Chains A and B, each alone.
Chain A
């Protein structure tokens, strides 16, 4: 099983709503990532969790709050978003550790529209 599963696939939310994006992998990977991708642009790294600890936060606004409940799950909590936050949010995972040659597996993404 080489899948990273993201839910929901599509989400429309108002600027005052609180919602969450969820990501799950059962490959035993110890590194998990959140990326944001705008149309016709490459993915931009937001957060990295390594062994369930937040290791990288790319200066992401606090209205995005990541959570890693266990080694298989990664959440992205959303609150008070802006319309410009509308994008495809990609979750990814990799085996982790010091071997930077590991392939990173991406999920199908969650399309977020903020109205």
Chain B
């Protein structure tokens, strides 16, 4: 069964600090992995998308890494801001279709003063 597991489930950090969120997946065959940010009560917003041939991709203060051999990805947030408080969802797409996405349960990040 295709699964995406994220850790930690929730995280509280001080403003200005860095943090790293983890994603492990068992989706096979694998096509791409996406990280989304979802504010409470709003739709997910795409941060990065990586194919199996990419190891790292950055979007401002967000840097995602991918190890397709170990089926692991991480999302590193640098110099966190209060507006980074949200759920971060790892989403994996199988090779055969873009429609059958497997969503992780997300990591809820809270950035405090």
Decide whether A and B assemble into one complex: yes
A67 to chain B, nearest CB (A): 18
Interface 9-residue window, one of B17-25, B43-51, B77-85: B43-51
Task: State in angstroms the CA–CA spacing of A55 and B49 once bound together.
Answer: 24
Task: Write the residues of chain B forming the contact surface with A, with a CB cutoff of 8 angstroms.
Answer: 31-32, 34, 36, 41-46, 49, 51, 89, 93-101, 103-106, 108
Q: Which of A31, A90, A102 contacts B43 (CB 8 A)?
A: A90
Q: Which of B41, B89, B95 contacts A100 (CB 8 A)?
A: B95
Question: Are B44 and A43 interface neighbours, CB within 8 A?
Answer: yes
A-B contact count (CB 8 A): 62
Task: Write the residues of chain A forming the contact surface with B, with a CB cutoff of 8 angstroms.
Answer: 4, 6, 31, 33, 40-43, 45, 48, 50, 55-56, 88, 90, 92, 94, 96, 99-109, 111
Most buried by A among B31, B41, B51: B41
Contacts known (A33-B99, A41-B105, A94-B98); A100 close to B43, Cβ less than 8 A = no
Q: Given the complex, which residues of B lie within 8 Å of A102, measured CB to CB?
A: 98
Question: Are A100 and B104 interface neighbours, CB within 8 A?
Answer: no
Question: Are A103 and B34 interface neighbours, CB within 8 A?
Answer: yes
Question: Are A42 and B103 interface neighbours, CB within 8 A?
Answer: yes
Q: Given the complex, which residues of A lie within 8 Å of B89, measured CB to CB?
A: 42
Q: Given the complex, which residues of B lie within 8 Å of A101, measured CB to CB?
A: 31-32, 49, 51, 93, 98
Question: Are B105 and A100 interface neighbours, CB within 8 A?
Answer: no
Task: State in angstroms the CA–CA spacing of A55 and B98 once bound together.
Answer: 12
Q: Given the complex, which residues of A lie within 8 Å of B34, measured CB to CB?
A: 103-104
Contacts known (A43-B44, A105-B46, A109-B41); A100 close to B103, Cβ less than 8 A = no
> Nearest residue in B to A10 (C-beta to C-beta)?
B41
Q: Given the complex, which residues of B lie within 8 Å of A109, measured CB to CB?
A: 41-43
